Structure 1
């Protein structure tokens, strides 16, 4: 097998391609989040209903990821990713012309389905084509594209909507994403180490069930669900708080607050170093504590403290997610790609559920009620961490018992 090596021209092209791909995916996915306030006003709907513009996309993405990963085994890695990005970008532009909220939701559902072809295949392509010692840096650039896309999608759409309305905002994101798709298509080399296989639904279903029989993996899947559910619930409705009295901030300023999510890039790197020194369990608990402190601090009415609280929450969230997601790959003994895709499925399902249920708490009990719901999510995450620690400790003692017999 011939691998792509770091320092070569083809490595730089591949890394840049996946940076553009990550940007494309997450800009399209999250561009609706800062527009929820406009949807509420224009379509005369509740904040909970407006949240469906993001929730319905993430649940469609979550379900479709389980399918696209298997389809790429038959159709090839690059074709699935390219057509996925092209269709999603085109649908994003069409979403801007939605005459009603129901039509907008139809387009956002289709966007979620088509977007799934990129994240479900990207890591498989990189793992097959990049030499092992260069894989970490290539994966890091792809994840950076994810993070920057998620921030830019929110920031650009929020700013454009403040000046030109949500139609132009979504169309703008779609056009930028089309450009990113063309860069990806042109720059990414075809697969060299991929060989197509027959699609075996029976084996796929059996392996997914096997992963769900592992209580340790179930704990990690539950954590992913709760973590992104908490994150999306918090950031979905913070805009409603900050644009209302006593803050009365403009949509543009609120959109710039999303730049705080870039903290996650630094949090993930620092967390990785701390895990190497102190172990996964301790650092996961530390990050969950930081997340909990951050969400509790958002109850403070002072604006600066609220922003600092969002920063703390973001730091802890990304640190916790990076540990949980990497732990899945280490714990799964076989079919690691499927184990990871199952984690992502529940991760994005948590986004849909947390974002929508959070709207019910927000509409019924206000900001205090929403924060109470998120605290409940995080308490369950602490319980799952404790259960996981017991499972790991028990597994460590099993060999010692057998040897002493």
Structure 2
């Protein structure tokens, strides 16, 4: 077995570049539709909650598929699964751009969600296996930075191009960009050297997931995934509806430009992930969630500048908390790391799907105050879970790679 990957080596740079490209592609494809929810509502004659299904169905199917794809990667290998996932999701995005009906569009978006499932949990497992213990915090932060950059670029391009050439051409452009990223990933990612494929007895798969719930810390981290992502997606799902209406009356391009604040998430995920390695996850996680809560509160202001500042602060807090929690899962899971990562991401995307659509009810009945109250309540529960994690007795974590 070869040595694990250290920070500063050529292998680390190749891995970081490849996984950043994978995260970029996956999240550009997944979230390109988010700023277009008002456009879909008008084009297909559906309401805000119904239009959110173009995102929620993708995240919901992705969540379910994670539980199947992760065990498959134990048999087929990490890199092959991720390569197939990236190419399939890019091609399905091109198909979605041409679908003439709302229901057909939703079906293709759901299939794209299934295809995307090959990257998130498998990438986390790849890093847990291949990276040295000293490198995993930074590597995970860089992966999540690629995720945030992809999410920002997908949203920004789709919104701006929709004003120029229409939403179908905008989605087609995202699909072509995702294809380019898939090629870069295939060529750059080093093959696994610390992973041995082995057939899984499928009857044992449920147990390989369920035993993680006997750990004192992992269930709390899974809960963090559900609550944090659900609140974050709700915030971005409905802010466009608010800002399209008076007194703001922003254009689709201007609303898409707000997603540039994802750059703050790109920076915070890396910095907070590294800070957690230095000062301890217990000390950092609850501070990141508190930061996100402060941002949600700021969005209640009437001033557009304060609303945007609130989105920035909430984004910084969310990506920082996600970076800490996701890397913590990989360190606590002594066995079946891919399954532990899959459970975290299953609840992460389930929160996006279920809570992101539920937020439409609060927007319809109580406007933005209802959305902010809903997200604030979710994050208060997440804060309580983080405080609980901070006082748990120390437990054995997965040993650093030699």
What secondary structure sits across from 1:374 in the alignment? Answer: helix
Contact 1:66 1:120 in 2 (8 A): no
Matched, 1:103 2:95: no
Deviations 1:216-247 (A, max 9, x none): 32222111111010100000111111111111
Unaligned runs of 5+ in 1: 397-405
Task: Rate the CA distance shift 1:195–1:272 in 2: closer, same or farther, 3 A.
Answer: closer
Task: Rate the CA distance shift 1:276–1:22 in 2: closer, same or farther, 3 A.
Answer: closer
TM-aligned CA deviation for residue 132 of structure 1: 5.5
What is the match of residue 63 of structure 1? 64
Task: Rate the CA distance shift 1:39–1:343 in 2: closer, same or farther, 3 A.
Answer: same
RMSD: 2.2
TM-score by length of 1: 0.90
Distance 1:324 1:169 in 2: 34
Task: Rate the CA distance shift 1:262–1:283 in 2: closer, same or farther, 3 A.
Answer: same
Q: Mapping of 1:392-403 within 5 angstroms? A: 392-393=392-393
TM-aligned CA deviation for residue 300 of structure 1: 0.5
Distance 1:313 1:134 in 2: 27
Distance 1:240 1:127 in 2: 40
What is the match of residue 385 of structure 1? 386
What is the match of residue 362 of structure 1? 363
Contact 1:148 1:262 in 2 (8 A): yes
TM-aligned CA deviation for residue 336 of structure 1: 3.0
What is the match of residue 400 of structure 2? none
What is the match of residue 2 of structure 1? 2
TM-aligned CA deviation for residue 142 of structure 1: 2.9
What is the match of residue 35 of structure 1? 36
TM-aligned CA deviation for residue 111 of structure 1: 0.3
Matched, 1:242 2:243: yes
What is the match of residue 77 of structure 2? 76
Task: Rate the CA distance shift 1:20–1:386 in 2: closer, same or farther, 3 A.
Answer: closer
Q: Mapping of 1:309-348 within 5 angstroms? A: 309-348=310-349
What is the match of residue 93 of structure 1? 94
Distance 1:115 1:130 in 2: 23
Distance 2:275 2:7 in 1: 26
Larger radius of gyration: 1
Distance 2:339 2:168 in 1: 37
What is the match of residue 209 of structure 2? 208
Contact 2:145 2:270 in 1 (8 A): no
Task: Rate the CA distance shift 1:193–1:270 in 2: closer, same or farther, 3 A.
Answer: closer
What is the match of residue 288 of structure 2? 287
What secondary structure sits across from 2:335 in the alignment? Answer: coil
Distance 2:37 2:89 in 1: 20
Larger deviation, residues 225-234 vs 13-22: 13-22
Task: Rate the CA distance shift 1:135–1:299 in 2: closer, same or farther, 3 A.
Answer: closer
Distance 1:11 1:354 in 2: 36
Distance 2:128 2:273 in 1: 20
Deviations 1:83-123 (A, max 9, x none): 11111111000000111111111001100101111222223
Task: Rate the CA distance shift 1:277–1:142 in 2: closer, same or farther, 3 A.
Answer: closer
Contact 2:272 2:320 in 1 (8 A): yes
Contact 2:54 2:109 in 1 (8 A): yes
What secondary structure sits across from 2:176 in the alignment? Answer: helix
What is the match of residue 165 of structure 1? 166
What secondary structure sits across from 1:249 in the alignment? Answer: coil
Distance 1:378 1:187 in 2: 38
Distance 1:381 1:232 in 2: 15
Contact 2:74 2:200 in 1 (8 A): yes
Distance 1:350 1:386 in 2: 20
What secondary structure sits across from 1:96 in the alignment? Answer: helix
State the aligned residue count: 394
Q: Mapping of 1:117-266 within 5 angstroms? A: 117-130=118-131, 137-266=138-267
Unaligned runs of 5+ in 2: 396-402
Larger deviation, residues 165-174 vs 2-11: 2-11
Contact 1:81 1:121 in 2 (8 A): yes
What secondary structure sits across from 2:38 in the alignment? Answer: helix
Q: Mapping of 1:7-22 within 5 angstroms? A: 12-22=13-23
What secondary structure sits across from 1:199 in the alignment? Answer: coil
TM-aligned CA deviation for residue 389 of structure 1: 4.0
Task: Rate the CA distance shift 1:372–1:8 in 2: closer, same or farther, 3 A.
Answer: closer
